[in-house]
Amino acid sequence: MSLPRTAGAALLVLALASVPVPASAAAAAPAAAEVNYVALGDSYASGTGAGDYSDLPCTRSRNAYPALWAEANDPASFTFAACGGATVPDVLSDQVDELDADTTLVSLSIGGNDSGFASTMLSCRLSTTSACERALAEAGEYVTGELPAELDRLYATVRARAPRAEVVVIGYPYLYKEGGLCLGGLGSAKRTAVNQGSDLLNETIADRAEAAGFTFVDGRPAFAGHEICTSDAWISSTNVHPTAEGHESAYLPAFAAAAGN
């Protein structure tokens, strides 16, 4: 901010500076200028499908909720490390190095790719209902059997590298509206099965985030009424990812509420 250029403005500044500030106001949440924010995760964090990409190989979008939050709050620093297609090992090898003792805020969305999101959705979109359900069952076995330990390892690394950061773990939305017709989309049984898979994944992520002392943000209520097959979908039926509106109207306010800004 530039200094006042006129004497009148200078006097006004001095006058305002003499007004006492209540202790409660002084103790309010830290200004965003004091925040060092690092965004980690997969395509749901990077903004795949949201357009206006700043980094095409990782599909990092200027419309993604981390970029929108940083633009609105102007933190002291912002590192957008999330990358489309990332798994837990990818975050550990390619992203967590961006964290340090000065990091004060971390967002993290991960786990979908580890459980075979892409191949499972391909089975559900192109194969029979029974094939879709088998693919989801296989993914579910990984989610309950192996993913918890993977998340524990990642969360412990995040805490060790950013010991004083507020860590917000973002969950995944329901992809489809259940019940009724879905022209050009999945049949009712498939949609129900996919959403049940989302429940299992979110419950696992939330459980491990809570165990690590992190804040979990549930994407399901954030996108409620705006899933694929609704009249105002915020998830693309083409790539099954949140649209720019989904990031702005669902993920951003949910994350901002958790981050306290």
Catalytic sites, residue numbers? 43, 241
Integer angstrom CA distances of residue 131 from 68, 120, 127, 230: 38, 9, 6, 25
CB 234 within 8 A of CB 249: yes
CB 165 within 8 A of CB 103: yes
- Angle CA(111)–CA(130)–CA(183) in degrees, nearest 5? 85
Gap between the Cα atoms of 169 and 95, Å rounded: 15
Contacts of 221 (CB under 8 A, 6+ apart): none
- Angle CA(119)–CA(210)–CA(218) in degrees, nearest 5? 55
Gap between the Cα atoms of 69 and 67, Å rounded: 5
Maximum distance among all alpha carbons in the chain? 78
